[in-house]
Each structure stands twice: as structure tokens, then as C-alpha cells.
Chains A and B, each alone.
Chain A
Amino acid sequence: AQKVTQAQTEISVVEKEDVTLDCVYETRDTTYYLFWYKQPPSGELVFLIRRNSFDEQNEISGRYSWNFQKSTSSFNFTITASQVVDSAVYFCALDSGGGADGLTFGKGTHLIIQP
């Protein structure tokens, strides 16, 4: 069985602070994919990143960066110099079924950026 744990239910920081959202996953498969999605207050789901299990290189996209560590089964997401617009619920998700049964989502982390 596969599982995604986002232990941080809610995080609140002041604007311009750096913040890291944790994601720990469980799967028995050797080939799998990890995702992050953003859900702003408007409710839609915005795709942020997809990473496969064979690529452990860290990814940076502007103020966003992702740290994938297979040794600890973690795929953490860091926002540098946070902004109010970053306020949202962030979901980590896992696909280890070859797309056969959709994505397994974590419960999400509600990020609040205070001005």
C-alpha cells in the first residue's frame, strides 16, 4: 500500500521568511512519481512539480525548491522569501501504480503568510 504523510497541518510565517513543507511517502515500488500541488483560496489545484524515483536531483524554480531524498523517503518543498500570494494549501502526492489508480494525496499543509 502507498501512503503520503504531511505532518504539518498548518504553518504560519511572516512574509519574507523561508518555509519548508514536509512530505514523507511510503511505497514498495521501485518506480514511482512524486508531485506537489498548490490549492489557493479560490479552490483550484495548481500543478507545481513532478519528480520520478530515479531522479534525486534537487529542483529549483524561482523561489520554490524541492529536496528529494530516497534514503528518508521524503520530498520536501521550500519557499524562499515567502509572499502573501503563497498562502494556500499545499498537497504532496504519490503515484506508484503506473497511473493505474490515480494519485495518493497527503492531507495537505495550510500555509499562511502574514504581511
Chain B
Amino acid sequence: DADVTQTPRNRITKTGKRIMLECSQTKGHDRMYWYRQDPGLGLRLIYYSFDVKDINKGEISDGYSVSRQAQAKFSLSLESAIPNQTALYFCATSGGGSYYNEQFFGPGTRLTVL
């Protein structure tokens, strides 16, 4: 079974709809991240969390919110989706110790906002 899972894998929605992307991990890692990937732009950080009580904005947090329901779960919400939020979204985790910043990525969620 995959260590980092994302649901849904693909989603098409309409402008103005609220949508939630979910991420679960079985790696036991404390740190979790949400990135978005746009063609030709690489990955950019949306939000990150170091534990259940610690949520931080990343480079492009506007229009997004997150919830860390448990150590293993980190959800990304688009309160009112807009077409320029069409992208590939990745969740990632990282653990502690000397490999704290080695990030493990989920398979991605392809979101299309019409």
C-alpha cells in the first residue's frame, strides 16, 4: 500500500464550488505539505504543518485553507474554486531526525475548475 495517499485523484468542478482534497499518510511523519504544480512553473508551496496544532502559510496560500485533523491527515480546501486553481496538487510528508527534509510525495490530484 502507498505510504502517502490522496483523494480524489481527479476532480472536475465548477467555478464557485467548495472542494476538499484529502491526504493521508502511514509513514508516521509529523510534517505535511500541500503543493500545486502548474505547467512550466514547477511546484509551489501552499500550506504546511509541523503537527496538529501548527499550520503555516506557504508561498501561494490565498484562496486555500487547510485542516490537520490528525497526525496522519491533512486536507486542503478551496472555499470558492476559480479556473486559475486548475492544477495538479501534491501532498508531501517528511519525518524527523537527520532526514527531516526528505519529502515523500503522494500521487497527486488533478483538479479542473470550469
Contact = CB atoms under 8 A, between A and B. Distances in A.
B70 interface: no
Interface residues of A, number: 22
22 contacts: A4-B42, A33-B101, A37-B105, A43-B107, A43-B108, A44-B105, A47-B102, A50-B101, A50-B102, A91-B43, A98-B100, A98-B101, A99-B94, A101-B45, A101-B58, A102-B58, A102-B103, A103-B101, A107-B40, A107-B41, A107-B42, A108-B40
A102 B102 contact: no
B20 to A, nearest CB: 20
Interface of B is mostly: strand
Interface residues of B, number: 26
Given A43-B108, A91-B42, A103-B43, 19 more contacts: A4-B42, A43-B88, A44-B107, A45-B90, A45-B105, A45-B108, A47-B105, A50-B101, A91-B43, A93-B43, A101-B45, A101-B48, A102-B33, A102-B58, A102-B103, A103-B101, A103-B103, A107-B41, A107-B42
